[in-house]
Amino acid sequence: MAGHSKWANIQHRKGAQDKKRAKVFTRCGKEITIAAREGGKDPDTNPRLRLALNTARSANMPKDNITRAIKKGTGELAGGNLEELTYEGYGPGGAAIIVECLTDNKNRSASEIRVAFDRNNGNLAASGAVAWMFNRKGHFVIKGENADEDKLMEICLEAGADDIEVDGDIAEIWTDKDAFSDVAEALEAAGIETEESGIIMKPDNYSDINDVETAEKVLRLLDKLEDLDDAQEVTSNIDIPEEILAQMDV
């Protein structure tokens, strides 16, 4: 089950990107709101809310912010009228891109997404144009001494994990989205902390970006999309070799 870690590859960009996101609490709050609206305020019976709360706490989101977000979702406070929208497109080098949004103004979102693609060498595409290249999967990242394939197989396979990829001291665990909670509980029971976890869009295949100019262009587009207030998750199928990343200032 060992394999090349795409997670380690994209962290070259994502680590810096996450640090500059002053709006991380806003994004967590939106996800909590819509999760509470759809499944209720009890995380024990609402897996999406449970995941959103774990993410918010990992980001050190204040408890008051979390409480307000839940109340918006249950209708106790105004501001829960969010819509889930997904946009698809292509970036430089043929990269497939999916942008998942939570917004209270879909016209604004559509306009901002289109401008970001148009001004950064990308093309917004019709619904379904690239989604077929991805599957929604549960995803866990383990770093350090616990990134041991045999150990993780013993813990996770019985809980429902589909695949475990190990690259050095980084392990990625992939699950069917419906098995995510079971695998999360198995890891917690084993005392294994995750670097990150969530249900994300996983590419079936990756698009190799093998020159610096194209890599810089596609990363610039992804950064612009991630900077948009309504964008919750931006996913692509790019794979940039380490020797290319080493030549870039990203």
Separation of alpha carbons 72 and 12, rounded Å: 35
Query: Sign of the CA dihedral 47, 96, 205, 243?
Result: negative
Span 187-209, mean pLDDT?
A: 87
pLDDT for the residue numbered 90: 97
Q: What angle do CA 213, 167, 195 make, to 5 degrees?
A: 90
Separation of alpha carbons 212 and 206, rounded Å: 17
Mind giving me the DSSP string for 55-110? Answer: HHHHTT--HHHHHHHHHHHHTSSS----EEEEEEEE-GGG-EEEEEEEES-HHHHH
Q: What is the pLDDT of residues 70-96, one digit of tens each?
A: 999 999 988 878 899 999 999 999 999
Span 136-162, mean pLDDT?
A: 91
The CATH topology of domain 24-74 is Arc Repressor Mutant, subunit A (1.10.10)
Q: Do 97 and 90 touch, CB atoms closer than 8 A?
A: yes
Q: Do 233 and 200 touch, CB atoms closer than 8 A?
A: yes
Intrachain domains 24-74 and 84-132+205-240 with the same fold: no
Separation of alpha carbons 30 and 121, rounded Å: 29
Separation of alpha carbons 49 and 52, rounded Å: 5
> Which residue type is seen at 218?
V
Domain ranges of the chain: 24-74, 84-132+205-240, 135-203
Report how far Cα 144 is from the mean position of its chain's Cα atoms: 21
pLDDT for the residue numbered 10: 55
Q: What is the pLDDT of residues 29-61, one digit of tens each?
A: 999 999 999 899 999 888 889 888 888 887 788
pLDDT for the residue numbered 161: 93
Report how far Cα 224 is from the mean position of its chain's Cα atoms: 16
Asked whether the predicted pLDDT for residue 13 surpasses 80, the reply is no
Span 165-180, mean pLDDT?
A: 89
pLDDT for the residue numbered 18: 52
Asked whether the predicted pLDDT for residue 191 surpasses 60, the reply is yes
Residues above pLDDT 70, as percent of the chain = 90
Asked whether the predicted pLDDT for residue 4 surpasses 80, the reply is no
Residue from 98, 107, 82, 86 nearest 32 by CA: 82
Q: Does domain 135-203 have CATH number 3.40.50.620?
A: no
Q: Which CATH number fits domain 84-132+205-240: 3.20.20.70, 1.10.10.1110, 3.30.70.100, 3.30.70.980?
A: 3.30.70.980
Residue from 107, 89, 125 nearest 222 by CA: 89
Separation of alpha carbons 30 and 80, rounded Å: 8
